[in-house]
């Protein structure tokens, strides 16, 4: 049977405050003012709670490795694991107890339901967690995720791209590996696909890479090979296109133009000014300016550059 738990209060401080709140009012610096004996009791209880969480992870890892478990049961086990690894310490522990590699094996497998759930776990484990990004690097997860992004199943591709994003952002070794593995071509393909959530995630990663310390390298690469930029510009010819895609597209183009004026002739050649005017006319027809507020701000910035 799948073991599942919610882990909103898995860290020491969070659970301690949670316990105190259930006793009445919570004073300032409650962790410091609580009776030492009671604090020791709570710490012991929390330590036991942490052990129980690890036991739950081990139980669910065993399920996803079982040949007898159904796809549905394995999916539930992956969901349970994801809940637990939302906590950074638990994310690290997943690898230390040998649970990360079985998750990756399901991402490599041929069952879409388990592929996208495994990708979700990888993303959760690696997000803002350099230790786990290193684990992913050691296991070669980037290759697997990039392959899934290029697959035909939209949900799998979208979840896998989130995993790629969480592995790459803020971690230089995997950023370099991403570039070396033609990651920008993969993103260009994702932007071109007729699936707005996938295109939006690809654009978001492009925007992040263009704004990080590697921005000079990113800009240089895209200047030499502007296929990705041309793909973005092509999406902007659809005046009534998806709002998230438009917003992220304009953000990427603006970020690149801020780093290099070599992009401006490319934008002008694509008649971006005309595209922006047509889009603004569409937005005004919607009568919901607040919804498009950020998009229009990015559009104004680009128009000023052009």
For 216-253, what is each residue's pLDDT tens digit? 567 666 766 678 999 999 999 999 999 999 999 999 99
> CB within 8 A of 21, min separation 6: which ones?
none
> CB within 8 A of 131, min separation 6: which ones?
92
Across the chain, which distance is largest between two alpha carbons, in Å?
A: 73
pTM of the model: 0.81
Of 7-11, 189-193, 227-231, 254-258, the poorest mean pLDDT is in: 7-11
Cα-Cα-Cα-Cα dihedral sign, residues 26, 31, 33, 36: positive
pLDDT digits (tens, 9 = 90+) for 38-95: 666 555 555 544 557 788 889 999 999 999 999 999 999 999 999 989 888 888 889 8
């Amino acid at each position: 049977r799948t073991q599942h738990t919610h882990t909103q209060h898995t860290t020491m401080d969070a659970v301690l405050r949670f316990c105190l709140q259930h006793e009445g009012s919570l004073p300032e610096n409650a962790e410091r003012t609580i009776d030492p004996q009671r604090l020791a009791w709570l710490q012991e209880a929390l330590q036991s709670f942490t052990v129980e969480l690890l036991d739950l992870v081990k139980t669910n890892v065993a399920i996803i490795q079982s040949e007898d478990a159904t796809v549905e049961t394995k999916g539930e086990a992956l969901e349970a694991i994801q809940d637990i690894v939302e906590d950074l310490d638990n994310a690290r522990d997943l690898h230390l107890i040998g649970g990360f590699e079985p998750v990756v094996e399901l991402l490599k497998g041929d069952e879409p339901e388990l592929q996208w759930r495994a990708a979700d776990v990888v993303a959760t484990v690696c997000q803002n967690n350099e230790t786990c990004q290193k684990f992913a690097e050691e296991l070669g997860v980037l290759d697997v995720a990039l392959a899934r992004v290029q697959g035909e199943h939209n949900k799998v591709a979208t979840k896998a791209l989130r995993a790629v994003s969480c592995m790459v952002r803020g971690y230089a070794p995997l950023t370099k590996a991403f570039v070396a593995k033609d990651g920008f071509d993969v993103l260009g393909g994702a932007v071109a696909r007729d699936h707005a959530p996938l295109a939006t995630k690809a654009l978001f990663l492009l925007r992040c890479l263009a704004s990080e310390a590697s921005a000079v390298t990113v800009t240089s690469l895209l200047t030499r090979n502007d296929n990705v930029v041309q793909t973005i510009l092509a999406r902007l010819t659809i005046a009534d296109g998806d709002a998230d895609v438009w917003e992220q597209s304009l953000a990427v183009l603006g970020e690149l133009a801020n780093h290099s004026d070599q992009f401006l002739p490319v934008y002008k050649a694509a008649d971006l000014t005309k595209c922006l005017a047509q889009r603004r006319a569409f937005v005004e027809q919607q009568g919901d300016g607040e919804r498009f507020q950020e998009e229009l701000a990015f559009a104004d910035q680009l128009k000023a550059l052009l």
